[in-house]
């Protein structure tokens, strides 16, 4: 996971597709990293250029704990 985080300027940055660190953590089921990002103030409601959210990434891969973390942090369900 560390290599994937290289190139991001800050914890609030995103890549050219709009993929943020919270989305990357959610897509990889990296719950500890996701919790840390949320604790540092990163929101899970951002959207990629294609409309995908961190919650969508986690749900698509059936990462139930990750989904729960995002929902508890206030991620929008109806986007």
Residue 40: Cβ within 10 Å count: 10
| Per-residue pLDDT, 45 | 87
| Per-residue pLDDT, 30 | 97
Report whether pLDDT(16) > 80: yes
The pLDDT confidence band at residue 35, using thresholds 50, 70 and 90, is very high
Cα angle value 9/23/15 (rounded, 5°) = 40
| Per-residue pLDDT, 8 | 56
Rounded Cα distance, 53 and 59, in Å: 10
Q: Tokens for 57?
A: 């990434």
DSSP label of 28: T
Residue spans of the domains in the chain: they are 17-72
Domain 17-72 annotated CATH 3.20.10.10: no
Averaged pLDDT score across all residues of the chain: 88
pLDDT tens digits for range 37-64: 999 999 878 899 999 999 999 999 999 9
């Amino acid at each position: 996971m560390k290599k994937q985080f290289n190139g991001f300027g800050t914890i609030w940055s995103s890549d050219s597709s709009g993929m943020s660190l919270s989305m990357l953590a959610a897509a990889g089921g990296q719950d500890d990293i996701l919790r840390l990002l949320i604790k540092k103030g990163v929101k899970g409601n951002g959207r990629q250029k294609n409309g995908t959210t961190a919650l969508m990434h986690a749900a698509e891969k059936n990462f139930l704990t990750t989904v729960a973390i995002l929902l508890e942090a206030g991620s929008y369900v109806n986007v």
